[in-house]
C-alpha cells in the first residue's frame, strides 16, 4: 500500500512554522511503513510556484537530499502546501521517473494512493496507472473535473495542485482512506489517523480542545485556494465511475448480460437464510473453494449438448467436497460507541469494498458471499450473487487478491449481550449489505 501525507497552511503569507515542517517530515518518515520503494514531495509557495523532488529511495535517505532540504527551506518563508507520497511499487518499475508526484504539462502535479480496476492505457499510455490519473485530471480540470472522475475506474485517495486556478485539491472514494486534523494554522493529512496522532505528539504541536481526526468524506472534493493570504475550503460533489450496462469479453467478443436482479420476496428470504447461517458461525472458506475450482463452469445448454466432452464440475459438487462446517474467519466484536461512528461512514448509496472470504449457498442458484471490509476490517461486508456471478468471482484470476465493490444498501448490528452489561456497553458484530456488486482484481499492494 502507498501512503499520502500533507500539511496545508491556513495563513500562507507567513509561510510554515517549524512545528508544521517537523510534523510533515515526521509523517513522511512514518509513512514509509506504507511504502518504502520511492519517496516524493511537492511544495507550493504563496506565490504559486511549484517545487518537486522525488527519488526511488526510502524516505529516511530522501529527507537528507539537497532537493528535499531546499523545498523545506522555501516552505519556512513562503509555504502554502507541502504534499508527500511513499510508494510501494506493484505496477511499474522502481525508478525515479515512476515515483510520485507526477507533473503533467506544467499545469497539474499529483500524488495518488490507489489502483485502477483493469487497464489504464485508454486514458494515457503510461507505465504507472497513477500517471494516467494525473493526465486525466489535467485534461478536464479545473473547469470540468467531474467529467474526469466519470472516466477513472479506480480506488483512489489523491491530492493535486492545479496551476491554472491555483488550487490544492483533495478527494477520495470508499476504497482508500485519508484522514485530516484541523489545527489552528494548518490542515494535516495522512492515510492513517494513528500516524497523525504520533507525529503531532512527537513534535509537541498544540492541538485545540475541539480538534478532531476526521476521515475525508468520500466523493467530495475539497478545494483550497490561496486568496491573498486567506484560504477557505470549497467542496464539489464528485461522481462515481460510470460503468457500462454490458461488458464485452475480450476473448470471445460476446456481450455479457448482467444477471437477473432479485425480486423483493426473494431478497428478503435470502437475507433471512443468511442470518441463520451467520448465527451458527459456520460457512465455507472461499480461498479453499477457489483452490479447488479450476474446472468449475456454470451449466449451459452448450455443455449439455456436447456429450463428447467431460461434464463440467458444478459448484454444488465442489461445495460438497469442501468441509461444510469449517469455521468462518474470526471477526472482532465492536462496541456500541464504535458502531455508531461506523454507521455514519457507511450510509446508503455510498461506495463499499470488501474482501471475498466466505460463501454460503442460499439455494441452487443463489449465494451469499462475505468478508471483512477493506478499510474497517471489523465490519463484515455481505452480498448476494447469482450462480453465474459467483462462478466468475471464484474462478477468474486465481492468484488475485479478491475485492468486491458495490454500494451500501444498509448496515445493521447484531448485539452479543453479556450478563451484567449496560446498553451502551453492548458489543456485537456489524454487517454492511452491499448491492450492485462488481468484482475487482487487486494485488497485495495498491498500484502506485
Q: State the CATH number of the domain containing residue 41.
A: 3.60.20.10
Residue closest to 151 by CA, chosen among 257, 246, 244:
244
Question: Do residue 313 and residue 413 come from a single domain?
Answer: yes
Grid cell, residue 431, equals 454487517
Q: Are 9 and 224 in contact (CB under 8 A)?
A: no
Q: How far is CA 36 from CA 33, 41, 55, 56, in A?
A: 7, 14, 11, 9
Last residue of a domain, one of 237, 271, 300: 237
Asked if residue 347 belongs to a domain, the reply is: yes
Asked if residue 448 belongs to a domain, the reply is: no
Q: What is the reported pLDDT for 263?
A: 52
Written as tens digits, the pLDDT of the chain (448 aa) is 699 999 999 999 999 999 999 999 999 999 999 999 999 999 999 999 999 999 999 999 999 999 999 999 999 989 999 999 999 887 788 999 999 999 999 999 999 998 887 778 889 999 999 999 999 999 999 999 999 998 898 889 999 999 999 999 999 988 889 999 999 899 999 999 999 999 999 999 988 888 888 999 989 999 999 998 889 899 999 987 754 333 333 333 333 333 344 455 655 565 555 555 444 433 334 444 444 433 333 333 333 333 333 333 344 444 443 333 333 444 566 777 777 778 877 888 777 888 776 676 666 677 777 778 877 777 888 887 777 776 665 555 443 446 777 888 888 776 655 545 555 555 666 778 888 776 654 433 333 4
Question: Do residue 265 and residue 391 come from a single domain?
Answer: yes
Q: Where are the alpha helices (DSSP H) in 63-126?
A: 66-78
Question: Do residue 117 and residue 90 come from a single domain?
Answer: yes
Asked if residue 284 belongs to a domain, the reply is: yes
Question: Do residue 285 and residue 310 come from a single domain?
Answer: yes
Q: What is the reported pLDDT for 374?
A: 75
Asked if residue 242 belongs to a domain, the reply is: no
In the chain, the number of structural domains is 2
Asked if residue 447 belongs to a domain, the reply is: no
Question: Do residue 213 and residue 308 come from a single domain?
Answer: no
Question: Do residue 90 and residue 169 come from a single domain?
Answer: yes
Phi and psi torsions of 194, nearest 5°? -65, -30
The domain of 123 spans 3-237
Q: What predicted TM-score, i.e. pTM, was given to this entire model? A: 0.62
Question: Do residue 393 and residue 340 come from a single domain?
Answer: yes
- Bond preceding residue 64 cis, omega within 30 of 0: no
Asked if residue 221 belongs to a domain, the reply is: yes
Q: Are 198 and 21 in contact (CB under 8 A)?
A: no
Q: What is the reported pLDDT for 157?
A: 95
Last residue of a domain, one of 182, 202, 237: 237
Last residue of a domain, one of 237, 266, 290: 237
Amino acid at each position: 500500500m502507498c501512503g499520502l501525507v500533507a500539511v496545508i497552511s491556513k495563513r500562507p503569507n507567513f509561510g510554515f512554522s517549524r512545528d508544521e515542517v517537523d510534523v510533515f517530515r515526521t509523517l513522511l518518515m512514518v509513512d514509509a511503513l506504507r511504502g518504502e520503494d520511492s519517496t516524493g514531495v511537492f511544495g507550493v509557495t504563496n506565490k504559486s510556484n511549484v517545487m518537486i523532488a522525488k527519488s526511488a529511495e526510502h524516505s529516511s535517505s530522501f529527507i537528507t537530499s539537497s532537493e528535499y532540504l531546499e523545498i523545506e527551506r522555501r516552505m519556512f518563508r513562503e509555504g502554502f502546501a507541502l504534499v508527500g507520497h511513499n510508494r510501494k511499487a506493484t505496477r511499474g518499475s522502481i525508478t525515479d521517473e515512476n515515483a510520485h508526484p507526477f507533473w503533467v504539462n506544467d499545469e497539474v502535479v499529483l500524488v495518488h494512493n490507489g489502483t485502477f480496476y483493469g487497464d489504464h492505457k485508454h486514458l494515457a499510455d503510461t507505465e504507472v496507472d497513477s500517471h494516467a490519473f494525473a493526465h486525466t485530471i489535467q485534461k478536464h480540470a479545473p473547469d470540468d473535473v467531474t467529467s474526469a472522475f466519470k472516466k477513472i475506474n479506480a480506488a483512489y485517495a489523491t491530492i493535486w495542485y492545479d496551476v491554472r486556478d491555483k488550487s490544492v485539491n483533495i478527494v477520495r472514494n470508499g476504497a482508500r482512506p485519508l484522514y485530516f486534523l484541523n489545527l489552528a494554522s494548518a490542515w494535516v493529512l495522512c492515510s492513517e489517523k494513528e500516524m497523525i496522532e504520533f507525529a503531532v505528539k512527537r513534535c509537541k504541536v498544540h492541538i485545540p480542545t475541539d480538534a478532531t481526526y476526521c476521515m475525508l468524506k468520500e466523493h467530495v472534493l475539497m478545494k483550497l485556494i490561496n486568496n491573498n493570504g486567506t484560504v477557505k475550503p470549497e467542496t464539489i460533489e464528485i461522481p462515481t465511475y460510470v460503468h457500462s450496462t454490458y461488458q464485452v469479453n475480450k476473448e470471445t467478443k460476446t456481450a455479457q448480460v448482467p444477471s437477473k436482479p432479485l425480486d423483493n420476496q426473494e431478497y428478503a428470504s435470502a437475507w433471512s437464510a443468511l442470518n441463520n447461517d451467520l448465527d451458527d458461525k459456520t460457512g465455507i472458506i472461499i480461498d479453499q473453494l477457489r483452490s479447488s475450482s479450476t474446472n468449475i463452469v456454470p451449466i449451459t445448454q452448450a455443455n449439455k449438448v456436447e456429450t463428447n466432452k467431460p461434464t463440467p464440475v458444478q459448484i454444488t459438487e465442489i461445495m460438497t467436497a469442501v468441509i461444510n462446517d469449517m469455521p468462518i474467519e474470526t471477526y472482532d466484536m465492536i462496541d456500541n460507541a464504535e458502531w455508531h461512528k461506523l454507521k455514519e461512514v457507511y450510509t446508503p448509496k455510498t461506495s463499499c469494498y470488501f474482501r471475498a472470504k466466505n460463501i454460503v449457498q442460499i439455494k441452487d442458484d443463489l449465494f451469499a458471499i462475505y468478508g471483512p471490509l477493506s478499510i474497517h476490517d471489523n465490519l463484515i461486508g455481505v452480498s448476494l450473487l447469482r450462480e453465474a456471478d459467483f462462478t466468475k468471482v471464484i474462478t477468474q484470476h486465481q492468484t488475485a487478491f479478491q475485492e468486491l465493490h458495490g454500494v451500501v444498501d444498509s448496515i445493521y448490528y447484531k448485539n452479543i449481550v453479556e450478563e451484567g452489561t449496560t446498553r451502551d456497553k453492548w458489543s456485537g458484530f456489524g454487517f454492511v449489505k452491499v448491492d450492485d456488486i462488481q468484482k475487482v482484481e487487486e494485488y497485495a499492494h495498491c498500484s502506485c
